[in-house]
């Protein structure tokens, strides 16, 4: 009975699916250059060919990240559910259409009056750690299969690596309401070790350019500023 209560209900599943689809479309639009590139000969081909890749990367990296927040919060006796945000969905689609992406389609909402800092930190850390698992699995696949760099399979594996570690990095920034602010409030050593692992993975596998890291800081600050509006 307890296991059934922890599983997402139908409304929550709909919210997760909608958020997933919006992110997939927005990422594919961004990769294709946004709607300003719609007149070019390669736009539609790039957009359509990238949809399956984005579906793989976003579903594993984003959906599992949010579900792990939910399950860990429920483990500590809290009520938790993923909810979409209409404003967040619009922002996600619009930015993707303009060729850059601010992906905030929704979040896992947690309701508890009894969380300790440690519990809140662990619940927050569960999402980025899930991204670590996804990253590890796909890094192992990339090195084991070793597909040609120009192949479709290589692009799919590499993009999943990119999205998984990008989400981990973005969410671990110490800016409220991101996961990192809650992990840092709980334990500075845990926060520093987690960020160190992220940077080691980024540097050794070259999955995120330095420019993206700078952009992530800017987006996180904007996200924090407009948090109440967007979500």
SS3 content of the chain, % helix, strand, coil (to 5): 75, 5, 20
Report whether 155 contacts 53 (CB < 8 A). Answer: yes
Residue 150 carries which DSSP code?
A: T
Alpha helices for 32-151 (secondary structure H): 43-58, 64-75, 86-97, 117-145
Nearest 5 degrees, angle CA 182-CA 93-CA 63?
45
Burial 14-53 (b: 16+ CB within 10 A, else e): ebbeebbebbbbbbbbbbbebeeeeeeeebeebbeebbeb
Residue tagged active-site, from 32, 66, 107, 119: 66
Q: Which residues contact 147 (CB under 8 A, 6 or more apart)?
A: 153, 154, 157
Q: Is position 12 annotated as part of the catalytic site?
A: no
- Which residue is associated with the tokens 């736009």? 43
Catalytic residue ranges = 66
């Amino acid at each position: 009975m307890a296991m059934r209560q922890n599983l997402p209900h139908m409304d929550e599943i709909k919210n997760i699916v909608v958020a997933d689809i919006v992110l997939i479309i927005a990422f594919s639009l961004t990769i294709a250059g946004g709607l300003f590139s719609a007149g070019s000969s390669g736009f539609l081909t790039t957009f359509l060919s990238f949809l399956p890749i984005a579906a793989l990367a976003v579903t594993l990296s984003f959906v599992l990240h949010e579900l792990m927040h939910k399950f860990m919060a429920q483990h500590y006796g809290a009520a938790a559910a993923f909810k979409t945000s209409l404003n967040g969905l619009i922002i996600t689609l619009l930015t993707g259409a303009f060729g850059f992406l601010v992906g905030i389609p929704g979040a896992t909402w947690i309701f508890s009056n009894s969380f300790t800092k440690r519990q809140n930190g662990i619940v927050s850390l569960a999402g980025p750690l899930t991204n670590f698992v996804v990253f590890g699995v796909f890094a192992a696949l990339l090195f084991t299969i070793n597909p040609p760099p120009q192949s479709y399979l290589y692009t799919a594996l590499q993009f999943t690596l990119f999205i998984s570690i990008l989400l981990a990095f973005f969410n671990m920034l110490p800016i409220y309401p991101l996961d990192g602010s809650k992990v840092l409030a709980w334990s500075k050593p845990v926060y520093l070790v987690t960020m160190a692992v992220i940077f080691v993975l980024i540097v050794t596998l070259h999955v995120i350019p330095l420019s993206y890291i700078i952009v992530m800081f800017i987006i996180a600050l904007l996200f924090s500023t407009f948090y109440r509006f967007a979500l």
